[in-house]
Amino acid sequence: MTKQEKIVSMFNDIAPTYDRANRVLSMGVDTIWRKKACNLAFGYCNDNALSIVDVACGTGDMMGYWKRIGDENSIHIDEIVGIDPSEGMVGVGREKFPQMSFYIAPATELPRENSSADIISISYGIRNVMERQAALIEFNRVLKTGGLVVILEFMKNENPSMLGKVRDWYMNNVLPRIGGLISNNYEAYRYLPDSIEGFLTVGKMEKELEEAGFEMLYVQSFSMDISTLMIARKK
């Protein structure tokens, strides 16, 4: 089994408890980050009949926020599509959002036509894509010229502040234990801080986006640098 297959299998295992664990572990703050991402992205859009593709959609949380924030801002959205390689996660998503479309596929092989999407979002998922550069090139293929890629992620911080060190202590010592209790899968939540430590800094992620044909529009970290929002436009 490849590392990518092991990650997908892990998400299949924790799918039934994933939403509950997320709310507890983030203390609900992740909802603020998601809303901010949607609001800012809509501000960069000119079209009012948008096609939105949420990659590594998991149980569909971000899809729900795209719909809710779009409605609040009177933005007409033609479609919101979720794509994820985990059948377990997508199964939960289909139950939560039966009116939305979901597809089982990796981030490197999106079942979408060239230049067909206005926005591609990926929330806390790009870190789990082993062939990351191939995925970014695939995002570029699917996006229309001027389309947006919206990334929320836990980025590696090479020079953490005091608050950043508090974050790292929480991630390494508290999160795996609580996540393990809720999901009965300690290893899955031990994977989270380990994967952050092995991931990219913000600067390196920006470089990869630029190499894949994107122009950076917005970069901001939130809540002791726990979460980073990046918005880039296809050139």
- Write the pLDDT tens digit of every residue in 101-142: 999 999 999 999 999 999 999 999 999 999 999 999 999 999
This prediction has a pTM of 0.91
Task: Kindly indicate the confidence band of residue 200, based on its pLDDT and cuts at 50, 70 and 90.
Answer: confident
C-alpha to C-alpha distance for 224 and 166, rounded to whole angstroms:
8
Residue 111 corresponds to which tokens in the numbers above? 């079942």
- The whole-number pLDDT of residue 223 equals 66
- The whole-number pLDDT of residue 9 equals 92
Q: How much of the chain exceeds pLDDT 90, in percent?
A: 64
Instruction: Using the predicted structure, report yes or no on whether residue 54 has a pLDDT greater than 90.
Output: yes
- Residue 36 — φ and ψ, nearest 5°? -65, -40
Residue 227 corresponds to which tokens in the numbers above? 């979460």
Instruction: Using the predicted structure, report yes or no on whether residue 189 has a pLDDT greater than 90.
Output: no
The full set of domains in the chain, from first to last, is 3-234 (3.40.50.150)
Mean per-residue pLDDT for 199-212? 93
- Write the pLDDT tens digit of every residue in 135-179: 999 999 999 999 999 999 988 777 667 767 777 787 788 778 887
C-alpha to C-alpha distance for 147 and 162, rounded to whole angstroms:
37
In angstroms, how far apart are the furthest CA atoms of the chain? 46
Task: Kindly indicate the confidence band of residue 71, based on its pLDDT and cuts at 50, 70 and 90.
Answer: very high
DSSP code, position 213: T
Instruction: Using the predicted structure, report yes or no on whether residue 53 has a pLDDT greater than 90.
Output: yes
